[in-house]
Structure 1
Amino acid sequence: MATVSKKMTADERRAQILAVAAEEFALGGLHGTSTETIARRAEITQAYVFRLFGSKKALFIQVVQRAFEQLTGAMREAAGDRTGLEALSAMGLTYDSLLGDRTALLLQLQGFAAASEPEVRDAVRDSFARMWGTVADTTGLEPVTVKSFLAFGMLLNNSAALELRDVDEPWALGVRTRIQPGLFTHITSETNQ
């Protein structure tokens, strides 16, 4: 007896396209990925992709924004009710664990790489601003500490993208040095209460 495939709802189809597009854009970026490839993998027409998302750039922006939102939301959730360095530490542990999601990691980097496109630049800038705001508002720490935390995160992004865990060289070992509790204590003026 033949199996009958369930027809996807519009929301399910949209989610499927976003998932496929995320994988493709993570590897090929905005200019190296075709909507034809995305449509073929999703088993739909290219016209349907354009009908749902308008343009390849709009689809790219949406998947990059989702990658940033996933990371920002996970850090917010990790902090919970904590503030200060305690919240920052929880956010850092979560951030480090999320670097294993290669698709989300590469989407962030592809977003930065495509920032020569004004619409992409604006969307990535807004996503980064929300990430900054989440860290700053949740922790209550001053800008130099937030800046140091996010700068360290960008180094971790590059380390993960380059798969430095597989490189047995002194410089790679240095880059992979784990964040130790208290790393940001010397930067912040926060006092223990």
Structure 2
Amino acid sequence: MAAVQKKMSADERRAQILAIAAEEFAVGGLHGTSTETIARRAEITQAYVFRLFGSKRALFIQVVKQAFEQLTGSMRAAAGDRSGLEALSAMGRTYDALLGDRTALLLQLQGFAAASEPEVRDAVRESFARMWHTVADTTGLDPVAVKSFLAFGMLLNNSAALELRELDEPWALGVRTRIQPGLFTHITSETNR
């Protein structure tokens, strides 16, 4: 006798579609992923996906924004009530650990890749601005230190996406060199005038 599948609530179905869409968009991007594939994996119709999310672009934007918010929220939580370099160091450790989530990592990169589309660009800008403000407001550090921290983060994103941990070549080892928090004490607006 076949098992009877429990009917999902609208919220459960929405969460399921978002999880499937995140996996698919992380690999295929906005233009390489079809809503038909997402619907098939969720065992629903494509029309139902559109009824819930409006368009493929809107669904893509939602999962990209969630990936950014997961990262930003985790960094905010890691900092706790710390400030300055102590907060930055806690954020950096958390960021490094979060890079193991390939779906979230690749979604961020797919968001940047699809930024030629104005709606996507606006959503990614908004998400990146929220990340910037979280780092700046939490740490109280100046814009040059925040910029340097986020620039190193982008290098870490690329390193993780390229799976450089698998390579034992000098350049890959150099990219993976740990960044010490003291580096940021020398990177300030005062030293870059």
Amino acid paired to 2:20: V
The Cα shift of 1:188 comes to 3.6
- The residue matched to 1:183 in structure 2 has which SS? helix
What is the TM-score of this pair, normalised by structure 1? Answer: 0.96
The Cα shift of 1:180 comes to 1.8
- 1:72-125 Cα distance to aligned partner (Å, 9 max, x none): 000000000000000000000000000000000000000000000000000000
What is the TM-score of this pair, normalised by structure 2? Answer: 0.96
The Cα shift of 1:2 comes to 4.3
Distance 2:104 2:51 in 1: 25
- Correspondence list, 1:147-158, <5 A: 147-158=147-158
The Cα shift of 1:189 comes to 7.3
Distance 1:95 1:183 in 2: 17
Amino acid paired to 1:40: R
Instruction: Note the residue ranges of structure 2 that are not aligned, 5 or more in a row.
Output: none
Instruction: Note the residue ranges of structure 1 that are not aligned, 5 or more in a row.
Output: none
What's 1:94 paired with?
Answer: 94
Aligned-pair identity (%): 90
Amino acid paired to 2:173: L
What's 2:26 paired with?
Answer: 26
What's 1:50 paired with?
Answer: 50
- Size of the alignment, in residue pairs? 190
Distance 2:3 2:44 in 1: 20
Distance 2:64 2:163 in 1: 21
What's 2:130 paired with?
Answer: 130
What's 2:167 paired with?
Answer: 167
Amino acid paired to 1:109: L
Larger proportion of helix: 2
Distance 1:128 1:94 in 2: 17
Q: CA contact under 8 A between 2:65 and 2:124: conserved in structure 1?
A: yes
Q: CA contact under 8 A between 2:143 and 2:188: conserved in structure 1?
A: no
Distance 2:82 2:146 in 1: 15
What's 1:110 paired with?
Answer: 110
Distance 2:110 2:19 in 1: 16
Runs (4+) off by over 3 Å: none
Distance 1:157 1:121 in 2: 19
